[in-house]
A and B are shown apart, each in its own frame.
Chain A
Amino acid sequence: MKEVLRLGILELKEAYRRRELNPIEVTEAYLQWIKEIDPVIEAYITLDEEGALKAAEEAARRFHEGEASYLTGIPLAVKDNICTKGLLTTCASRILSNFVPPYDATVVERLRRQGAIILGKTNLDEFAMGSSTENSAFKLTRNPWDLKRTPGGSSGGSAAAVSAWECVVSLGSDTGGSIRQPAAFCGVVGLKPTYGRVSRYGLVAFASSLDQIGPLARSVEDCALLFEAISGHDPKDSTSLPIPQEEGLLEGIRGDPKGLRIGIPKEYFVQGLDEEVKERVLDLAALLEGLGLHVEEISLPHTEYAVATYYIICTSEASSNLARYDGVKYGLRVEGKDLMDMYMETRSKGFGPEVKRRIMLGTFALSAGYYDQYYYKASQVRTLIKRDFEQAFERCDLILTPTSPTPAFLLGEKVEDPLQMYLSDIFTIPANLAGLPALSIPCGLSKDGLPIGAQLIGRPCDERTILKVARAYQEASGLKLYPPVLDRLDSKR
């Protein structure tokens, strides 16, 4: 079993093509391992055994008929805020605990069309609001590297599932770091694409000008292949960029990155940054220099304003987006003495504390008398943050930073102090505000054995350069990370 679960997309495809393995036995191996290990990790909210095996049979047929593509027969997981037709989609919220979407999100439709196998739906912070997955209404996901620690969030279930080999790859969503930070905490690769590069149709909206769906994987190649499969214009999303799907990305990222210019922003290496995180990221920079890339210090002067800007904008957008949960059209209803009372009872019992907090913050920031001071002001500062990047990209091709100021923190450590939790997103938020593509790649372990992630930020729609440099680093470093929880696999046949 261990040998089967270890395989990446390209290896699985080759094994399928040679008839050494078939999608049904691989899917069965994943389901068996999930049943064994997920009671410990709790990455999945819903497991779709029946649907997965049906998709596996269909994938086997495709291989037989020779019409397979990269993702045919690949078992993967989908964050539970992405709609799957006929399969529960809860957003880890009581208010959607019974919601079965009548349609597939565009990304899911594209994966199904390619013959991918959806194993199930993964845990998250309720409505993707959080940085530790502790805000889930249903369960606590644990970090496969240390079960006392958070997997990060909000895509904590998707990151933990990839890390603990409970799927080959997964989909997450990233509004302020929700793919990259859990990827860093769990020692996997995670990409937030350029805003508009991947359709948001069917992604349950949190903050519409920031949300983006993206891949998590154990290798840069797998990350690139999943990104390619979901990218491209979608007429169902009016903010989708009018650019076709990526093509030939796998070949494109295999080139030599020599000569590329990497900028390291000095504002990211300040107090609050863990010393080991700093060292590992600078080691990565040194390795890239050894490969013939140019590394230089740059400045992104408005970095310190990003957290305040982000938490005004995202809560404002959230307060508007979440107004739709009223107990009428779908989801939970709690009866009240009249219509207004029914709305209020439903929302009060349906939303958890962090979601309420953000709805209230956003409502305040947009309310009469405060709009100019908060929302408008933050939108102006957003322009300044975006300009910082535009100026930096005149001098460099990519920006290298830590993904998170620290490795994974303990479960319970920050959950009582929302502001401290918000501040942990400081390095990932700016890319969302500016709409830029950004990737987190593992760059080593701390002395406590926790993964550390480095972030590469690129120009709009230049995921290719990011993936190329990440791949060159992955190959040159030879870094392969296996969380201790995988030891339990050794006893398996």
Chain B
Amino acid sequence: MKITVEQVEYVARLSRLKLSEEEKLRFTDQLDSILRYMEKLNELDTTGVVPTFQVIPEVNVLREDLVQRPFSREEIMGNAPSSEEGYYKVPRVI
């Protein structure tokens, strides 16, 4: 399978990235050669092999529902690029 510029544009859009024309061409070439290398996995028959998403036993981790000191609003919002009266400010949506 050959990766096309259109596919790169589609994936960039999904990734919320804007690419320059030069970046589009470079990423098309690079993604193509990397994905071609990854096709190596098709040499293996993995029918019926259970996938490993996580190497430790996957169990729900529960804890007592205890009251703890939360971060203050000021601590959390201190890094926000823009905020007002305890709210994050973003460009107008509606």
Contact = CB atoms under 8 A, between A and B. Distances in A.
Interface string B49-81: 111111110000101000000010001101111
Contacts of B91: 335-339, 341-342
Contact of B37 (A341, A360, A381, A419): A419
Contact of B92 (A196, A328, A338): A338
Interface in B15-58: 15-19, 23, 27, 30-31, 33-35, 37-38, 40-44, 46, 49-56
Given A361-B31, A364-B35, A241 B56 contact: yes
Interface stretch (A57-65, A95-103, A445-453): A95-103
B19 A348 contact: yes
A360 B91 CA distance: 26
Nearest to A355: B17
B55 A328 contact: no
Contacts of A343: 16
A308 B40 contact: yes
Contact of A239 (B7, B23, B56): B56
B-side interface mostly = loop
A100 B74 CA distance: 13
A333 interface: yes
B51 to A, nearest CB: 3
Contacts of A98: 79
A70 interface: no
A321 interface: no
A347 interface: yes
A418 B79 contact: no
A383 B50 contact: yes
Contact of A381 (B46, B53, B61, B82): B46
B34 A422 contact: yes
| Interface bin, chain A | 35 or more
B47 to A, nearest CB: 9
Interface stretch (A1-9, A266-274, A370-378): A370-378
Nearest to A304: B40
B6 to A, nearest CB: 13
A435 B92 CA distance: 45
Nearest to B77: A329
Interface of B: 7-8, 11-12, 14-19, 23, 27, 30-31, 33-35, 37-38, 40-44, 46, 49-56, 61, 63, 71, 75-76, 78-82, 88, 90-93
Given A305-B40, A344-B16, 18 more contacts: A102-B78, A209-B53, A235-B63, A241-B56, A308-B40, A328-B80, A330-B81, A339-B93, A342-B91, A344-B18, A356-B19, A356-B23, A360-B17, A363-B11, A364-B35, A376-B51, A377-B42, A384-B49
25 contacts: A99-B79, A102-B76, A102-B79, A209-B55, A330-B79, A333-B81, A336-B91, A338-B93, A340-B16, A348-B18, A353-B23, A356-B19, A357-B31, A361-B31, A363-B11, A363-B15, A364-B7, A364-B31, A377-B41, A380-B49, A381-B49, A382-B52, A419-B30, A419-B33, A434-B55
